[in-house]
């Protein structure tokens, strides 16, 4: 390999790494990437800190209802108990997950035969991905689940599958499943790979160990929650997936990609690599990992509310497939493609660093809490971070899942409507304006849903926009 591609790769790596560190420092100090989904994860961790593991759908603490699996918010909640703060351990979990993810991906690429410079190029393409950056800059589970999956695959392909390695891999896959319920593609890809290589005994041992681990996760969730989690998950995990949504999922994927520059470049390169591979090589582990991850990703994004964070695992699989495809016939092309993707991503991150990362969200949330003032009454918000910053437990932990639950069980919404009608909330804080067409669409079909706007307007009145949110106070 000539020197010039390596020099270019090194320069772009320095640029991306430097900008990533600057983004992390700015975002962590501003909370600029903590939106309502991160708020739901933090609310679950705060519940754990308070001794609550999976709220009931409705109970003394308010409304539960989440399809999130627990490992991330359990670790976060345990750390909050020790440290007292939710910010420091939350950001630490995100940072350590991404660091271990990058190390695991480099190790995986080396195990699959990529030489050091080419594996480093793959690492650069990963760090330049918006889905990876977003996972680093917020507080939620995506990076941890991806990291555990990558390490599970790495353990399986880095040597002979002894009993110890099978147990270790099964544990990692089970922990990935315990972090994110859709994280089954790593185990599926390895099992298929072993079967196609006629290593049936290894495949059977791994699938038995993996299924046993996932069963233990389910049992742990069930017994630790006193059975509440089963009722919650039964309603929230059966989201609105249908055959029409699955057919439209490729178009949905294309609709999510704009703005995710590294993902947009590496995904077609991976698809081209898969198509160009000889038929006998399509049963190789990188190809199977890509196919399994793509299949699961298409199912996920066929449900309402799916966003770009679900591109993370697909991007990892794309990088692994592309790098292992070019390692024999053109490593320099691999370096050039990854460098180009990273450079384009770097340029796209500059205005984001200037305009988005600098938004003082932490101050905005505190401004809302200060405007409402001290109160013994609960605060209702579609972003659970608002009541948390105000020193309360969120009454509704996830406004999106609340809407999904009441579509199946409308009677569960009655206590909330009753509280709004009787002005039992000190304030209602919304992140979108319900008087606009877009806002009405959100509160009818995404957040709260049902008769929420009708009850809100009958009993509460607008009272300004502190912290760039819409504040409603009880009518007098």
Query: Do 201 and 338 lie in a common domain?
Result: yes
Final residue belonging to a domain, choices 339, 355, 371: 355
Query: Do 286 and 147 lie in a common domain?
Result: yes
Q: Is 115 contained in some domain?
A: yes
Alpha-helical runs (H) found in 225-306: 228-236, 243-256, 261-276, 285-301
Under 8 Å between Cβ of 179 and 166: no
Q: Is 51 contained in some domain?
A: no
Contacts of 333 (CB under 8 A, 6+ apart): 326
pLDDT value at residue 242: 65
Query: Do 256 and 368 lie in a common domain?
Result: no
Stated pTM of the model? 0.94
**Domains in the chain, number:** 2
Helix then strand then coil, % of the chain, to nearest 5: 70, 5, 25
Final residue belonging to a domain, choices 311, 335, 355: 355
Q: Is 440 contained in some domain?
A: yes
Query: Do 366 and 448 lie in a common domain?
Result: yes
Query: Do 400 and 454 lie in a common domain?
Result: yes
Contacts of 320 (CB under 8 A, 6+ apart): 105, 108, 109, 112, 122, 286, 289, 290
Query: Do 296 and 394 lie in a common domain?
Result: no
Query: Do 303 and 448 lie in a common domain?
Result: no
Q: Is 55 contained in some domain?
A: no
Query: Do 274 and 374 lie in a common domain?
Result: no
Query: Do 273 and 298 lie in a common domain?
Result: yes
Query: Do 344 and 455 lie in a common domain?
Result: no
Q: Is 397 contained in some domain?
A: yes
141: helix, strand or coil: coil
Final residue belonging to a domain, choices 327, 355, 383: 355
Per DSSP, the residues of 307-362 read: -GGGHHHHHHHHHHHHHHHHTTT-HHHHHHHHHHHHHHHHHHHHHHHHHTTT--HH
Query: Do 99 and 218 lie in a common domain?
Result: yes
Q: Is 372 contained in some domain?
A: yes
Closest alpha carbon to 169 in 181, 159, 96, 179: 159
Per residue of the chain (476 residues), give pLDDT as tens. Answer: 678 899 999 999 999 999 999 999 999 999 999 999 999 999 999 999 999 999 999 999 999 988 899 999 999 999 999 999 999 999 999 999 999 999 999 999 999 999 999 999 999 999 999 999 999 999 999 999 999 999 999 999 987 889 999 999 999 999 999 999 999 999 999 999 999 999 999 999 999 999 999 999 999 999 999 988 888 888 776 555 567 778 888 998 999 999 899 999 999 999 999 998 887 788 899 999 999 999 999 998 888 777 888 999 999 999 999 999 999 889 999 999 999 999 999 999 999 999 999 999 999 999 999 999 999 999 999 999 999 999 999 999 999 999 989 988 999 999 999 999 999 999 999 999 999 999 999 999 899 998 999 999 999 999 999 999 999 999 98
- CA atoms of 407 and 6, how far apart (whole Å): 56
Q: Is 44 contained in some domain?
A: no
Query: Do 431 and 295 lie in a common domain?
Result: no
pLDDT value at residue 232: 83
Domain with 72 in it: 3-30+67-355
DSSP label at residue 410: G
Write out the two tokens for 347.
Answer: 């340029």
Q: Is 36 contained in some domain?
A: no
């Amino acid at each position: 390999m000539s020197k010039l591609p390596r020099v270019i790769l090194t320069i772009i790596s320095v640029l991306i790494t430097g900008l990533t560190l600057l983004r992390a420092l700015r975002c962590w100090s501003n909370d600029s990437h903590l939106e309502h989904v991160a708020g739901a994860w933090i609310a679950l961790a705060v519940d754990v800190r308070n001794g609550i593991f999976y709220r009931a759908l409705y109970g003394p603490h308010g409304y539960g209802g989440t399809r999130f699996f627990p490992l991330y918010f359990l670790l976060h909640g345990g750390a909050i108990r020790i440290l007292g703060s939710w910010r420091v351990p939350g950001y630490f979990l995100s940072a350590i997950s991404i660091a271990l993810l990058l190390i695991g991906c480099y190790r995986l690429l080396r195990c699959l035969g990529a030489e050091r410079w080419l594996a480093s190029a793959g690492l650069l393409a990963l760090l330049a991905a918006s889905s990876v950056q977003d996972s680093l800059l917020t507080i939620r589970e995506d990076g941890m689940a991806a990291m555990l999956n990558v390490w599970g695959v790495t353990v399986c392909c880095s040597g002979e599958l002894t009993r110890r390695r099978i147990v270790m891999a099964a544990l990692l896959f089970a922990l990935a499943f315990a972090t994110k319920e859709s994280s089954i593609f790593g185990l599926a890809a390895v099992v298929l790979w072993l079967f196609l290589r006629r290593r049936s005994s290894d495949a059977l041992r791994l699938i038995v160990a993996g299924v046993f681990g996932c069963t233990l996760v389910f049992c742990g969730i069930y017994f630790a929650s006193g059975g509440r989690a089963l009722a919650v998950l039964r309603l929230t995990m059966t989201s609105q997936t249908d055959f029409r949504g699955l057919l439209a999922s490729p178009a949905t994927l294309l609709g999510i990609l704009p703005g995710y520059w590294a993902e947009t470049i590496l995904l077609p390169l991976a698809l081209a690599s898969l198509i160009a591979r000889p038929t006998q090589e399509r049963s190789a582990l990188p190809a199977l990992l890509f196919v399994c991850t793509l299949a699961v990703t298409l199912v996920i994004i066929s449900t309402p509310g799916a966003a770009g964070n679900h591109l993370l695992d697909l991007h990892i699989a794309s990088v692994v497939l592309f790098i292992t495809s070019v390692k024999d016939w053109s490593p320099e092309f691999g370096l050039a493609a990854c460098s180009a993707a990273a450079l384009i991503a770097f340029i796209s991150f500059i205005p984001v660093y200037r305009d988005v990362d600098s938004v003082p969200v932490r101050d905005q949330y505190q401004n809302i809490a200060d405007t409402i003032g001290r109160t013994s009454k609960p605060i209702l918000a579609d972003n659970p971070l608002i009541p948390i910053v105000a020193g309360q437990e969120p009454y509704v932990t996830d406004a999106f899942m609340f809407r999904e639950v009441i579509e199946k069980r409308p009677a569960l919404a009655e206590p909330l409507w009753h509280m709004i009608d009787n002005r039992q909330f000190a304030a209602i804080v919304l992140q979108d304006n319900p008087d606009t067409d877009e806002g009405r669409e959100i509160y009818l079909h995404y957040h709260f849903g049902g008769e929420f706007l009708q009850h809100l307007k009958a009993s509460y009145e607008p009272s300004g926009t502190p912290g760039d949110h819409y504040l409603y106070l009880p009518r007098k």
